């Protein structure tokens, strides 16, 4: 699956497009950027329980990589908005949350996957069928430091993600400066 670097760049790009008024340097800006990064990486939080078990990937590419997480966070955002900020457009916030998770899943779908089980259950809880693109765009990052190809492969991943996501990020950032 794509790297945290790629997901973060794309998440910040979406924030700049969705909420350009938040990007003046302030505590609110820092909070918005931090929240966008956390949201962009949310499907990968399934690594945390595995880290404590000594097997970081044991839960990765499971239910957190699905419409189930997107819908769950959508409803949490809806409840949070209605309770904490009823004057704010709940549609804009909930749509942003849903799309951020969906974009993470689409990027992961477009990433080479050679590690079993191949793919992820995109349609969970409606189906446990695992999906992966027959025509991936992004190379597969290596997570095993002992692999002799670790540096070479991950530099390739970094390069491809930079070529695709950095221009989008800078264009979105320039948009906020107008």
Domain ranges of the chain: 4-176
User: Which of these, 112, 138, 137, 117, lies nearest to 128 by C-alpha position?
Assistant: 117
Q: Which of 26-35, 77-86, 97-106, 134-143 tops mean pLDDT?
A: 97-106
Q: Which of 13-22, 30-39, 135-144 has the lowest mean pLDDT?
A: 13-22
Report DSSP state, residue 139. P
Give percent above pLDDT 70 in the chain: 96
Cis omega (within 30 of 0) on the bond before 111?
no
User: Which of these, 130, 150, 131, 148, lies nearest to 140 by C-alpha position?
Assistant: 150
Contact assessment for residue 63 and residue 121, using Cβ atoms and an 8 Å cutoff: yes
Other beta carbons within 10 Å of 164: 16
Say whether pLDDT at 23 is over 60.
Answer: no
pLDDT given at position 108: 93
User: Which of these, 15, 44, 11, 41, lies nearest to 28 by C-alpha position?
Assistant: 15
Tell me which residue has tokens 């492969």: 153
| Residue ranges in 19-89 assigned as alpha helix (H) | 27-41, 47-53, 67-84
pLDDT tier for residue 21 given thresholds of 50, 70 and 90 = low
Task: Give the Cα separation of 154 and 143 in Å (integer).
Answer: 9
- Cβ contacts of residue 69 below 8 Å, gap of 6+? 42, 43, 63, 101
User: Which of these, 36, 34, 35, lies nearest to 14 by C-alpha position?
Assistant: 36
pLDDT given at position 24: 61
Q: What is the mean pLDDT of the chain?
A: 88
pLDDT given at position 137: 93
Report pLDDT digits (tens) over 150-168. Answer: 889 989 999 999 999 999 9
């Amino acid at each position: 699956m794509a790297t945290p670097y790629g997901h973060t760049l794309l998440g910040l790009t979406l924030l700049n497009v969705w909420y350009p008024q938040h990007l003046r340097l302030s505590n609110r800006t820092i909070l918005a950027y931090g929240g966008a990064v956390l949201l962009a990486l949310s499907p990968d939080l399934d690594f945390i329980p595995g880290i404590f078990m000594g097997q970081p990937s044991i839960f990765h590419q499971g239910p957190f990589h699905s419409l189930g997480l997107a819908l769950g966070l959508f409803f949490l955002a809806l409840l949070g908005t209605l309770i904490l900020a009823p004057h704010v457009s709940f549609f804009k916030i909930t749509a942003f949350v849903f799309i951020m998770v969906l974009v993470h899943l689409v990027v992961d779908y477009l990433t080479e996957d050679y590690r079993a089980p191949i793919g992820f259950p995109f349609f969970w809880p409606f189906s446990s069928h695992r999906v992966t693109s027959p025509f991936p765009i992004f190379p597969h990052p290596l997570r095993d430091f002992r692999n002799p190809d670790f540096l070479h492969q991950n530099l390739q991943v970094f390069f491809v993600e930079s070529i695709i996501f950095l221009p989008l990020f800078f264009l979105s950032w320039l948009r906020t400066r107008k």
